[in-house]
Homo-oligomer: A and B are copies of this chain.
Amino acid sequence: MKNLIEQLRTFAKERDWGQFHSPKNLAMALSVEVAELVEHFQWLTQAQSDITDPKNLEEIKQEIGDILIYLTMLSDKLGIDPIRAAKDKIKINNKKYPIETVKGRAKKYNV
């Protein structure tokens, strides 16, 4: 992860792109990359979405790469460690969604 942050700092510095990388812009770019990922799944059934075709999987891998790139750049800008943030959030979710209450139920509409 540290190595990834370093590579991204170098990439942006070499291109003088720091001027475009306000948190606001990075958040927008992140949302655009996520939509490019969503596009792969929009017309599929849930069963079909377990994609195994190597060509599609390679494209999806690149989208996931882009998403982590922008997430890491934004986190770096705001001084946040994303892995730490995820682990802390799991602790919060553990309390928010007690096993006995939510087992087998989706969070919304409790189908």
* A positions within 8 Å CB-CB of B: 1, 3-4, 7-8, 11, 14-17, 19-20, 22-25, 27-32, 34-51, 53, 56-57, 60-62, 64-69, 71-72, 74-75, 77-78, 80, 82-83, 85-90, 92-94, 97, 99, 102-104, 106-109, 111
Contact = CB atoms under 8 A, between A and B. Distances in A.
A49 B74 CA distance: 11
Nearest to A101: B15
B61 A80 contact: yes
Contacts of A87: 3-4, 7, 65
A57 B86 contact: no
Given A32-B38, A62-B89, A72-B86, 18 more contacts: A1-B83, A4-B87, A7-B90, A14-B99, A15-B102, A23-B51, A30-B67, A32-B42, A43-B109, A44-B109, A62-B88, A64-B75, A64-B82, A65-B87, A65-B88, A65-B90, A68-B85, A69-B90
